[in-house]
A and B are shown apart, each in its own frame.
Chain A
Amino acid sequence: MVALSDKEVTKAQHVEEVILSHLQTHEEIVNSGEFAKANGLEHDLLLSVVQSLHGFNYVEAQDIKKEAWVLTEEGNSYATLGSPEVQVYKAIPLEGISREDLQKKLDVSVFKIGFAKAMGNKWLETKPLVSRKVSNVEDQVQQQLVHIRNGQDLAAADIDALKKRKLIIPLIWKGYSIRKGTSYAPKRTKAATDLTREVLQRGTWKDLVFKDYNYNALGQPTEGGHLHPLLKVRAQFREIFLEMGFEEMPTNNFIESSFWNFDALFQPQQHPARDSHDTFFLQVPEKAQFLPEDYLQRVKEIHEHGGYGSIGYGYNWKREDAEKNVLRTHTTAVSSRMLYKLAQDGFTPKRYFSIDRVFRNEAVDRTHLAEFHQIEGVVCDRGLTLGDLIGVLNEFFSRLGIRKLRFKPAYNPYTEPSMEIFSYHDTLKKWVEVGNSGMFRPEMLLPMGLPEDVSVIAWGLSLERPTMILYGIDNIRDLFGHKVDLKLIKSNPICRLGMR
């Protein structure tokens, strides 16, 4: 309900008093409309007061609906000036008048309608001049219209005729008949809506009647801010990794050299992923200024001629290609830096993770973006096996609530064996790919200087895909980027990934 101003409140109180005191001495108010008119009250205000009194059972109100008629603009003008046929009749002098002159004396539409009607009523003669055929006419239409204006009833046939001439239109009139209700009192004690400080301190809460609370309405929205849904999911992934003993890698370097992004990972320089169709290369800063020279020589050697039991790729490795800066295409670029550092610092078993932004020069659509977040887990230890990778993946995914996994052989230039991770999707009733994994190739690890018996297992997935599935979002741009729907951020539930 719209809040009432003070003035309106006073008026409403007056209406309330009139109604309640009338019912003290009368059985019934038969028609709220007539009652309002008789007492000089506004009917609309009276209706809202009755609704309120009815709600508290002071009165019992029953709907009255009446089809009433009101005049159209045209009807209104005829009620005042007379019907057009009478206007035409009256405009004709006793001696008669030419049609043209008659037309000039009258309003265009009055002439047009009135002349036809008057002819129809056989009031006029037209030859040679227009003249009166009857000596006197009675303007019944005008009288009927005046009746309607005064709220009086008419015969059904007359109503039909006026309706047809579009001089009146129907209006549904609503009102009440009013009797005493079960809680009737000559004066209303207003129910309290809230336990206020004043009420509390005065102690009046003991005697006050409290208004019923509407338990079906929503409460008042909370104030305060909101965290972003994707980052709430990120937080849960971080916790899962931390619980599993993983150490976070420093991934705050979006710009990476091709050397760390590709070459160090034993990804050959002609590999399609290194095409400009897949990777963003930089104009500024175009090239890396320095690369680890000793290590670079070992990387060049393994690409060109192999070593450590490998035959290599057998091509002419170019330093210029390794120097080219890129927006990193995967966080594995950071993993390669970390593993190299681990080899330099002296090997100890490690578990690393990261969740951060990566870039692909690909067409964007509802599910793919040029920027997204990669989740990566890496375990390095002596003598790790493919069974360990499968075991770690089962542990990791079971914490996400994904317990049914299977693995498909795949190809990736820097892992061997490589496995695509599939999980059974209960609603889709099929196996869907949820991530990629593998054991880093010796051609990647040994040039770094890691001991020969050290193996590294790793896996990766995107943050966006599980988030979209989790929250049923079908367009990633509703979530990520400036075209975000703020309502979606605000109404997003907490992320329970990792709870068991």
Chain B
Amino acid sequence: MPTVNVGRDRLYEALQQHYSEEEFDELCFDFGIELDDVTTEKAIIRKEKHLQEDTLEDEEIIYKIEVPANRYDLLCLEGLARALRIFTGKQGSPTFSLSSSAIQKMYVQPETALIRPYVVCAILRGITFNQARYNSFIDLQDRLHQNLCRKRTLVAIGTHDLGTLEGPFTYEALPPSEIKFVPLKQRMEFTAEELMDFYKSDLKLKKYLHIIESSPVFPVLYDSKRTVLSLPPIINGAHSAITLQTKDVLIECTATDLTKAKIVLNTLVTMFSEYCEKKFEVEPVEVISSDGNATIYPDLHVRSLEVDLAYINGYIGVSLQSKQVIDLLNRMQLPSEATIGSNGKSKIKALIPPTRSDVLHPCDVVEDVAIAYGYNNILKTLPRSLTQGKQQPLNHFSDLLRSEIAMAGFTEVLTWILGSEAENFWLLNRKHKEHTGVIVGNPRGSDFEVNRVRASLLPGLLKTMGHNKDSPRPVKLFEVSDVVLLDNTKDVGAANERHLAALYCNTTSGFEVIHGLVDRIMEVVGISNAAVGDTKGYYIAPSNEPEFFKGRQANIILNGSCIGSFGIIHPQVLANFDILDPCSVVELNIEPFL
């Protein structure tokens, strides 16, 4: 969940009310956001730098607030405060409008299709910035870049002082050597080619270079005088940088995903048109695609969604009247009205503003009714249908067998399914080729060796033994759990197999103890001992596995097929797992017993 940092005092000012921390926490809980932390700007910096200093009294208190990942309209103080004001009934939902006609045009060149095909634009006229508003405007772009824009891969935002530029604008894609401009925060001109090199050492920007680096053409925006607006998704030009004095702001969003570009643009203009001379009015820009089609952006149209009143009541389990539902939806920024459907049923027509891109389906309207009504005010009921409890036979059987093994004196352990290549192969004296199994493609940075999904329970038991050297002897361990084997008959190409493994460790090897356990397992599952070669019952036959000691190991043959093996662990393997005393081990597949 994204976290938004807002100054407490500014927030309360915007909410037109002062809350105690507890009161505000309650309000957050009811609305579905979370007051995650209370800190100060300087404390955040200190934490980043690992400094130990006390908070000074005059530091501004910052609230860190977690918001739902699909509510981009709550990613800045403006939107958060607006939503809470509306939720607490202090104001109604704003209506956003476009000024009459598009003055500015953006022409898209066909080459952009090769790298970043979409651009959408809008203009905020007569905006008044101050330091706090300006910071919030920049922060919102950062948060959108991180969340919805998926680290600028899907959408990149550029904001410009329109007063420094002259339209019409073009969106082009050119070879990097042909793009030359002074980027933001620099004084020198760079070609795009040079910039890519220059930013390799820039901690903030280097992570975006890969998005266009390997492309023969880079996306770039120009005004009519060939001034570079930006080189998306990397950097804006210095020329059109916005300042506290900027009055008219041009916003451009270039994208590989048009839907998200539109949401990003709408989020910026619906939040910051609040500070425009004509509040909540946005000047549109006409975007002319390479095939000549013109589209007006931003798309601020209000979608209407008709939902049966009965659907809402039935979904939540309440019986509200239309008027009540409308009141509740008004508090959630979904202005609505009552209508009657063609079948004579009561309907609620909800008007979905451009800020609410999270509303996809009537069920989203239902949720807002439920939130405004209060989850904790809903009457508890129970589903009426009678159903039967039932266990999975494999799990049921495993539990019975686990009890038997524990009764035989073994202590259960629970080990990792992920392990290293070493412990799954060469530490067991096994070679790779003999046991190909499931391999993880992206193990975590520090654990890059942990990339194997176990095909045997043995490494887990041996590691547990190695870590419990001081345990009183004999140590008797077991585990009943799944391993994963490649299996071409399964849709995903792999399947689990339920195994049982047990280990005995003492001053003597305990080979006959493990042998006895094998006999006991067969006894409790009702399989009788058979003569070697029989295809009914079980017998054991000498084996030759590298993890076991020669001449003290055997395969377990059930109804003619090998289901597992047991033996004294090879001294080399013991040493590999840092075990000082002899051990005997059994591992078998228990699924054939079912």
Contact = CB atoms under 8 A, between A and B. Distances in A.
B391 A289 contact: no
A247 B388 contact: yes
A457 B385 CA distance: 14
A406 B150 CA distance: 33
Nearest to B33: A409
A363 B493 contact: no
Interface string A101-136: 000000000000000000000000000000000000
A311 interface: yes
A417 B366 contact: yes
A482 B415 contact: yes
Interface in B408-465: 408-418, 436-444, 447, 451, 453, 460, 463-464
Interface string A275-289: 010001111111111
A390 B361 contact: no
Interface residues of A, number: 104
Nearest to B371: A409
A152 to B, nearest CB: 51
Contacts of A276: 442
Nearest to B146: A272
A344 to B, nearest CB: 15
Contacts, number: 291
Given A254-B417, A285-B438, A416-B361, A387 B259 contact: no
A327 B259 contact: no
B476 A225 contact: yes
Nearest to A422: B29
Contacts of A286: 441
A322 B339 CA distance: 41
A256 to B, nearest CB: 6
B338 interface: no
B366 to A, nearest CB: 7
A282 B32 CA distance: 36
Contacts of A254: 417, 453, 482, 484, 496
A314 B192 CA distance: 32
A280 B443 contact: yes
Nearest to A307: B361
A412 to B, nearest CB: 9
Given A291-B491, A383-B314, A409 B32 contact: yes
Given A231-B412, A270-B257, A387-B378, A410 B387 contact: no
A406 B376 contact: yes
A226 B406 contact: yes
B367 A253 contact: no
Given A270-B257, A481-B416, A388 B383 contact: yes
Interface string A439-468: 101110000000000010100000000000
Contacts of B317: 385-388
Contact of B492 (A252, A257, A482): A257
A249 B383 CA distance: 20
B547 to A, nearest CB: 17
B298 to A, nearest CB: 16
Interface string A214-226: 0000000001111
Contacts of B371: 409, 417
A198 B268 CA distance: 95
14 contacts: A223-B409, A226-B412, A238-B395, A255-B438, A270-B150, A288-B492, A349-B385, A349-B387, A381-B385, A391-B380, A391-B383, A411-B32, A417-B367, A482-B463
Q: Which 6 A-B pairs have the closest CB atoms?
A: A409-B32, A387-B317, A385-B317, A285-B493, A411-B68, A349-B385
Given A285-B494, A371-B416, A417-B367, 4 more contacts: A226-B412, A308-B361, A386-B317, A411-B70
